[in-house]
Structure 1
Amino acid sequence: MLYSSLICRLKSQHLALSEIVNHLDEKRLNHQPEPGKWSIKDNIAHLVIYQHVFIGRVHQMLKGGTPAFNAYRADDEPDFLQARELPLIELNRKLIGNRRQILELITNLPDDDLLLQGTHPKYGTLTITEWTEFFLLHEAHHLFTIFKLAKG
């Protein structure tokens, strides 16, 4: 049920972050491209917190019953607001640690569990495998945003 490109990205996609931002100073990391838009550090904090959201959603789906999830909006979430204040090194540590949890959780699920579902408000009912793909694509979007902000 898990295909090789999904497992490969789950193992390594997030590691691109340190290569993109290693050379940046605090001013660049915290620069808002325009009012109301996230900085590089805000995007990183979001990635860290969204990993917890994803883990929670997988655990809910494992209980069965096809739970319906609300769209996740980070801006007013206390966990996101706290994460924004953490130093980059701590955010990176959390990102890597959380990813190990996700990798272990997803890759150890039996195929029958990977078929369990949850409903996204925009994309409909998705299996755990499809939610994992969504998670990775969402992360890739933010990595690309971080890349553009770092180079812009």
Structure 2
Amino acid sequence: MIEKPFVKWFDRKFDANIDIVQFDGILSRMEHFPAVLNQLLETCPKKIATIKTNGKWSVNENVGHLILLEDLWRRRFQDIKDGKPDMSPADLNNTATDQAFFNKSVLGELIKRLGDERAKTISLLQGMSKEDLLKKSIHPRLNQPMNIVDLMYFVAGHDEHHLSTIQSIIDNTMAL
């Protein structure tokens, strides 16, 4: 197996021309992500879940970050639906994640919270019409127009980025 080199999230490029016929498949990826994450983490010891290495987020902090972003995703989906020219900006410094003390939380509770927040996002997306899916707004960091499905693809990619990061944390910690 050839491993892909790790690419920092902010260095990634995204296709913003995803056909709306991909809606159901990407929605399914997003909907099932908390269960996939739970399966990976169901046996993760607390000691590993809260270890920070080289100033990087722990497993708990990665999951907490995903929880916090669900509100931003919903705002951005709503921005597009409402025809706003620009999507709501993100805190690119991730201040809320750094200040949330997620390492004091139980990992299983964080995963449940993520599932609850993601369910709200899925519900919002299921209520979108075909006309809504065709509308576009400018993504603030990427400075490119995106429709609902493009942003869903972006969110699913962000999920997978953190899944890979979490897997690396576990693998590297277990190897010690």
Deviation per residue, 1:34-75 (Å, 9 max, x gap): 1x2111111110111111110111122222132244344253
- How many residues are aligned here? 150
Q: Which residue of structure 2 lines up, in the alignment, with residue 102 of structure 1? A: 121
Structure 1 SS opposite 2:26: helix
How far apart in 2 are the matches of 1:99 and 1:106? 11
How far apart in 2 are the matches of 1:144 and 1:14? 14
Q: Which residue of structure 2 lines up, in the alignment, with residue 93 of structure 1? A: 112
If the length of structure 2 is used for normalisation, what is the TM-score?
A: 0.76
In structure 1, list runs of 5 or more residues that go unmatched: none
How far apart in 1 are the matches of 2:101 and 2:38? 17
Q: Percent identity over the alignment?
A: 21
> Which is higher, the Rg of structure 1 or of structure 2?
2
Q: Which residue of structure 2 lines up, in the alignment, with residue 148 of structure 1? A: 168
Asked whether 1:59 is paired with 2:71, we answer no
Structure 2 SS opposite 1:125: strand
Structure 1 SS opposite 2:100: helix
How far apart in 2 are the matches of 1:135 and 1:82? 22
Q: Which amino acid aligns with 1:7?
A: L
Asked whether 1:46 is paired with 2:65, we answer yes
The question of whether the paired residues in 2 share the 8 Å contact of 1:117 and 1:126 is answered with yes
How far apart in 2 are the matches of 1:136 and 1:67? 20
Q: Which residue of structure 2 lines up, in the alignment, with residue 117 of structure 1? A: 136
How far apart in 2 are the matches of 1:83 and 1:105? 29
Q: Which residue of structure 2 lines up, in the alignment, with residue 128 of structure 1? A: 148
Over the aligned positions, Cα root-mean-square deviation in angstroms equals: 1.9
- The 1:98–1:81 alpha-carbon spacing in structure 2 relative to 1, beyond 3 Å, is same
1:82 alignment partner, one of 100, 124, 142: 100
2:43 alignment partner, one of 23, 26, 42: 23
If the length of structure 1 is used for normalisation, what is the TM-score?
A: 0.87
Bigger shift: 84-93 or 140-149?
84-93
Deviation per residue, 1:6-43 (Å, 9 max, x gap): 12202212311111111122211011121x21111111
Q: Structure 1: which 4+ aligned runs deviate by more than 6 Å?
A: none
